């Protein structure tokens, strides 16, 4: 049985980050964009926590909590906007959101 070390966590984090990144770039649904963003943030959280544990320094874990808190508030605001948008236009397609175009 292999010992699970820092590298494994970092690899997991990287994989998750890449998944999130591809999601951000590819998905056209605003809700899916939020999911991808959450995946990105949590990928970072994993590496924070892992590195924090590795060095025995709690700063990283505290920072992860901050990230979680910020992510929660971001989603709260974002979802609110999303619902308003959906009510008005009947979809949440990214390509249709170009009213700010100059």
> Smallest distance from the beta carbon of 29 to other proteins, in angstroms?
10
Q: Label residue 52 left, alpha or beta by phi (over 0 means left) and psi (-120 to 50 means alpha).
A: alpha
Contact flag: residue 91 with other proteins (CB under 8 A): no
* Measured distance CA(13)–CA(96) in Å, rounded: 32
Structural tokens at position 71: 């992510």
For other proteins, which is the closer residue by CB, 79 or 94? Answer: 94
Name which of residues 28 to 87 contact other proteins (CB under 8 A). 28, 33
State the residues that interact with other proteins by CB under 8 A: 21, 24-25, 28, 33, 94-95, 97-98, 100-102
């Amino acid at each position: 049985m292999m010992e699970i070390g820092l590298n494994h966590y970092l690899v997991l984090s990287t994989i998750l980050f890449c998944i999130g990144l591809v999601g951000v770039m590819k998905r056209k649904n605003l809700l899916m964009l939020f999911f991808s963003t959450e995946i990105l943030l949590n990928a970072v959280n994993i590496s924070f926590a892992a590195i924090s544990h590795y060095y025995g320094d709690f700063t990283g874990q505290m920072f992860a909590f901050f990230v979680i808190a910020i992510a929660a508030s971001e989603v709260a605001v974002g979802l609110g906007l999303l619902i308003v948008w959906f009510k008005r236009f009947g979809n949440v397609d990214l390509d249709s959101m170009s009213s700010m175009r100059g």
